[in-house]
């Protein structure tokens, strides 16, 4: 009888240890989640927050140093934020605006956030109203897009992010020197275009004259009758017959741009797919 009681006691003891261990699992899991969330919150606000793991450690460090130098020189705040998937019900533009407001809103001369969502292949640039005066919606954001989008689509993430940072530096430098936002169209010179057109016409005319001079058996005809062999054609009568007219109408397709905007009274910017 004593042995039976001993065995029952051992069974109850093992069950108690097992239940206690199972009870600790959610606590441990919750603790790990809280730790990960705290680490993520600590990273937010840094020049580079690469949650999607697109950059190596060395690439992230070099990009961070470059952005900090640009921030110091222009007294702005710049953030590059990558993540795998957007939260449910959240657009890239809205998340970029929220991220800027919460973590990057202390730039004296403006703040800008470049967000990448790998799962949906979204990119978005969010600016506050101060930065919006320096990098304007439309031509400003489109100019930046032209600097980084091709590398971003090709998977050259380090090159793409460095080009973005260089573009922001270029736009801010222009604003500080000229007192107005940079507009790529202003680089177009009408005088240079006129000179190029005149030069092309002259080269074309000179080449045409050279070819004509090489054609020894060809001479211009003074009258159209010179091209007709005498006696080979006789016109006896002529009249016109109208047969029918066919009209084809096609609906003009709308131009669907892949870019989008979440601009409001306190944010500028724009984005799209890559």
Biggest CA–CA distance in the chain, Å, is 139
pLDDT at 149 over 90: yes
Question: How far is the C-alpha of 163 from the C-alpha of 146, rounded, in Å?
Answer: 10
pLDDT band of residue 10 (cuts 50, 70, 90) is low
- Spatial neighbors of 205 by CB under 8 A, at least 6 apart, are none
Q: What is the structure's pLDDT at 246?
A: 79
Rounded average pLDDT over 181-207: 74
* Tokens, residue 72: 């110091």
Over residues 42-53, mean pLDDT:
90
Q: What is the pLDDT of residue 258?
A: 46
Cα 269 from Cα 168, distance rounded (Å) = 13
Closest among 48, 29, 46, 25 to 37, alpha carbons compared = 29
**Alpha-carbon dihedral angle through residues 158, 159, 165, 169, given to the nearest 10 degrees:** 150
* Domains of the chain with bracketed CATH: 48-186+265-273 (3.10.310.50)
| pTM score | 0.62
Question: Residue 168 has what pLDDT?
Answer: 97
- Is the per-residue pLDDT at 91 higher than 50? yes
Looking at the DSSP bridge assignments, the partners of residue 233 are: none
Say if residues 92 and 113 touch (Cβ distance below 8 Å).
Answer: no
Q: In Å, how far are 8, 85, 146, 187 from 2, measured between CA atoms?
A: 10, 62, 85, 98
């Amino acid at each position: 009888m004593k042995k039976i009681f001993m065995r029952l006691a051992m069974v109850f003891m093992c069950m108690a240890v097992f239940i206690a261990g199972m009870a600790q699992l959610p606590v441990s899991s919750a603790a790990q989640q809280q730790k990960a969330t705290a680490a993520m919150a600590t990273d937010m606000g840094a020049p580079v927050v690469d949650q999607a793991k697109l950059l190596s450690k060395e690439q992230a460090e070099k990009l961070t140093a470059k952005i900090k130098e640009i921030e110091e020189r222009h007294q702005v705040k710049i953030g590059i934020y990558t993540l795998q998937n957007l939260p449910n019900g959240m657009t890239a533009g809205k998340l970029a605006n929220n991220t800027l407001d919460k973590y990057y809103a202390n730039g004296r001369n403006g703040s800008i956030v470049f967000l990448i969502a790998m799962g949906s292949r979204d990119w978005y640039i969010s600016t506050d109203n101060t930065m919006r005066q320096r990098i304007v919606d439309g031509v400003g954001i489109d100019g930046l897009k032209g600097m980084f989008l091709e590398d971003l689509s090709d998977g050259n993430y380090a090159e793409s992010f460095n080009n973005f940072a260089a573009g922001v530096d270029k736009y801010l430098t222009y604003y500080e020197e000229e007192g107005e936002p940079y507009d790529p169209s202003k680089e177009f010179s009408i005088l240079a275009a006129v000179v190029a057109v005149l030069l092309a016409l002259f080269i074309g005319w000179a080449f045409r004259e050279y070819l004509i001079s090489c054609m020894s058996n060809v001479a211009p005809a003074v009258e159209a009758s010179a091209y007709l062999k005498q006696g080979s054609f006789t016109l006896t009568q002529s009249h016109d017959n109208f047969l029918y007219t066919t009209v084809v109408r096609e609906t003009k397709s709308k131009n669907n741009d892949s870019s989008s905007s979440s601009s409001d009274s306190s944010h500028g910017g724009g984005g799209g797919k890559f």
